A and B are shown apart, each in its own frame.
Chain A
Amino acid sequence: MLTALTVLGILAALIGLVLGYTAIRFHVDSDPVVEQIDKLLPQTQCGQCTYAGCRPYAEAMAAGEADINQCPPGGETTIKALADLLGRDPKPLNPEHGEHTEKSVVVIDEQVCIGCTLCIQACPVDAIVGAAKQMHTVIRDECTGCDLCIPPCPVECIHVVPLPPVIGNWVWPKPADPASQPTGTARQQAAS
């Protein structure tokens, strides 16, 4: 009787130690779901989802306040990935938030720019360089195509340009579908 109690007591103490250690060692600060959702979002930071950026939208989704179809830059791919992650049914993009377009970038017409710095303040990813009364320019590789810099510009010198196709981003076209889809199902249908 006493042996059994001692053994159980020691076991309990050991397991308690291990659990205590792992709780400290593998402590997770923030909600991992938010991180996971944030990872799937395109990080355009455009605010078309009505939230102040991709992370706030991810937090709202994790809290169940926002739907998964509010991100036009991500489009169908993002909605599908979010649906997979959150175990919901994919749904079409909510047109209230805009339409999905291919990624573009903005350029500043440097002849027209007056150096007002309003676009620099609007850019969510610091992709515009310039200073007061100096010419501004967009760092193309950093631009997410959120278009937030366009409305503040007083001289309308910022234009959207589509990204030209380059070999590095080219995808082999998917072959046209074989006449109809194969398989067991067709045979089963024929048999039934």
Chain B
Amino acid sequence: MNRSATSFSRPQLSSFKTLHHFHGGLKLPGHREITASMPIRQAELPPQLIVPLQQHIGAAAVSLVQVGEQVCKGQLIGRQAGAISACVHAPSSGVISAVEDRPVPHPSGLQAPCIVIDTDGMERDSDEQYPLLDYTRLTPDALCKLIRDAGIVGLGGAGFPTQVKLGCGKYDIKLLLINAVECEPYIACDNRLIQERAADIISGVHILQRAVEAESCIIAIEDDMAQAEAALQTALQQDGNNTDIALTRVPEIYPSGGERQLIKVLTGEEVPSQGFPADMGIICQNVGTAAAVHNAVVKRQPLLPRIVTLTGNGLVQPQNIEALIGTPVSHLVATAGGYCSDVERLIIGGPMMGYAVTDDNIPVTKTLNCALAVTADEMPVPPPAQPCIRCGKCTEVCPADLLPQQLYWYAHSSNLDAAQDYSLFDCIECGCCAYVCPSHIPLVQYYRHAKTEIWVREKQLQSSDLARQRHEARLSRLDRIKQERAARMAKKKLALAGDDSRKDNKKAAIEAALERVKRKKQQADSTPGNTDNLTPAQQQLIDDADRRRRQQQEDRNS
């Protein structure tokens, strides 16, 4: 069932006029109207910023600062470690009060290394002056470097380092896809961003297009975001060099904002399992990322604030808030008027893919797009799970075209190899299957359990491989030392036993030594020295000694 994209005044790309459908998906109540009509509010500077070193997929950044150090706003405080990593910057000026483990937004509730900054409220900028650049004169490589140095990661939620995704000339990109499809209920931060900063987004899109040298570019927007769409249209019309950017509406079906689903909707092609969109010549970037790229390249500002949707009936004044990274969620909740008395749970992320947390003293990270405080009426705790009745509803709605029921069996019985055979890792954890399950089985949690279990086992396998290597190296070293010692001993033995001339030399040396001793003795016998000018007493002593010696000699002879 295809439908035509609504044509705008902008030139449309002929090949993307027809929209397609991905398998499954759900029509969900939006709940976005709670916050989508209110302007973005700036959060006040909190007294303390907690900046996690890991806010992205890949290796955690390495801290560059010491406790007690003064930092400026935008100063690099954590450098990227390895190819897939992102750097972090000080969101505001102040003093580093700790570099330690703090609670971070994560379903485990565990702590992770963070840099804690006691803010001084001065918002001091770094003394370093960055020249403003005309990006149209920069090479794609230079643009990627600027994006990397700004610490930009995918702001849609996954947090993949943007420069890695852009590939810096590694891929032959035909299409740049800008994802403005904010499909998960409640979340409206991208919607507000588009409404208020459409020009920044368009500028960022131009930079991204230049960085990947894409032939064409599409901004995909959901068909219920009319105001955002109008803002983008206006910005495109005001923009001078926009002839190659097309705006396309996609129907509001959850999860059409998923990268693979959106590509399917627009191109009709499927990203292969285990493959990447870049292999097909497509790169997908979130609108928030485009705005951050604009800030990084045009304004030379690293990624410091992000927009967070604070929503749910459990908050007094739900709204979108722009907060510095590292701002505690509790501070944002206070900005949003605090909790209502009947609040029941705080969820990080949306209602479908988010996770509940027990502590709101966790910092905003680059990927935290929503904090949802729900009441018991709004999102009741699901009743206890019943046995699977094999109704197949989960398979009907799965947007990745998997067999959720099959995956559930294998995850449930910890048959992880079989789960992988059924493409467990193609599951995007959208939650559609669990949403429609009449038995209320927490299916996604089973998949998440299986995925994390497989990762941990792979890590264990790597460390056991390392242990084996080290053990074998040790054994071969000990063996080598033993052989070397044995060889040395054998050589010595051979030298001692076999060599006759050496034996003669030894004999001659002994004889010579005996000869020397004899000669010395004779010399000693001939003339005793130091016998002139002796006192009578001394002479008496010598005579006595001589007599004793003679006596002894006679005794020995007799």
Q: Which residues of A contact B (CB under 8 A)?
A: 38, 41-45, 53-55, 124-127, 141-142, 144, 165-183, 186
Contacts and interface: CB of A to CB of B under 8 A. Distances in A.
- The secondary-structure label for the interface of chain A is loop
B66 interface: no
B430 to A, nearest CB: 16
Contacts of A127: 470
Given A43-B467, A125-B467, A171 B387 contact: no
B470 A125 contact: yes
A44 B467 CA distance: 7
Contacts of B110: 165-167, 170
Given A171-B453, A178-B439, A124 B385 contact: no
A69 B199 CA distance: 67
11 contacts: A45-B467, A55-B468, A142-B466, A166-B110, A167-B112, A171-B452, A172-B107, A172-B448, A174-B445, A178-B386, A182-B388
Given A43-B465, A43-B467, A175 B473 contact: no
Interface string B96-122: 000000001011101010000000000
B446 interface: yes
B387 A43 contact: no
Interface centre among A45, A127, A168, A178 (most CB of B within 10 A): A178
Contact of B387 (A141, A144, A166, A181): A181
A125 B449 contact: no
Interface residues of B, number: 39
Nearest to A77: B457
Nearest to B439: A178
A171 B456 contact: yes
A182 B389 contact: yes
Contacts of A141: 463
A173 B411 CA distance: 12
Interface string B386-427: 111110000000000000000000001000000000000000
A175 B385 contact: yes
A112 B464 CA distance: 30
Given A127-B470, A172-B448, A180-B387, 11 more contacts: A43-B465, A45-B471, A142-B470, A165-B110, A167-B54, A171-B456, A173-B445, A174-B449, A176-B385, A178-B384, A182-B388
A45 B464 CA distance: 10
B471 A125 contact: yes
- Quick one: which of B107, B112, B451, B471 has the most chain A CB within 10 A? B471
The binding surface of chain B is classed by DSSP as helix
B216 to A, nearest CB: 39
Contact of A125 (B107, B384, B441, B474): B474
A179 B386 contact: yes
Nearest to A84: B417
A178 B445 contact: no
B106 A175 contact: no
A119 B463 CA distance: 21
Nearest to A180: B387
A170 B452 contact: yes
B413 to A, nearest CB: 10
Contacts of B385: 175-179
Contacts of B388: 178, 182-183
A82 B474 CA distance: 26
B449 A171 contact: yes
From B106, B112, B389, B470, residue with most partner A Cβ within 10 Å? B470
Nearest to A174: B449
B87 to A, nearest CB: 19
Given A171-B456, A173-B449, A183 B464 contact: no
Given A125-B474, A167-B110, A178 B387 contact: yes
B30 interface: no
A78 to B, nearest CB: 10
B468 A179 contact: no
